[in-house]
Amino acid sequence: MNDAASTEFLFGWVQDVDTNARFLFLEASRRLGDQWTLELEIRIFLDQPPTAFLFTLRDDDLLQLVLQYHF
């Protein structure tokens, strides 16, 4: 967004057109003042059939929120 807080977003969607299997991800971060950073990461696996490459990860969805202090 080209702002002073260095806000960043990354979103992706991967879909298999044959099986309708999907993988969604979102990564975002923002500086909070001079010494703090807030980060968010989301990864979701949807409709993974047994033949899909990512089938073994079907139950490994991720939601992570990180607050970091830099000194």
User: How do the domains of the chain map onto residue ranges?
Assistant: 8-69
Q: What is the pLDDT of residue 61?
A: 92
pLDDT per position as a tens digit, 48-71: 888 877 788 888 899 999 999 999
Q: What predicted TM-score, i.e. pTM, was given to this entire model?
A: 0.81
Provide the CB-side half-sphere exposure for 31 (13 A, CA).
10
Mean pLDDT of all residues belonging to the chain: 90
Q: Which residue has the tokens 């923002």?
A: 30
Residue 11 CA from chain centroid, whole number: 7
Is the model's pLDDT at 1 over the cut of 80? no
Residue 60 Cα distances to 37, 55, 56, angstroms: 25, 10, 8
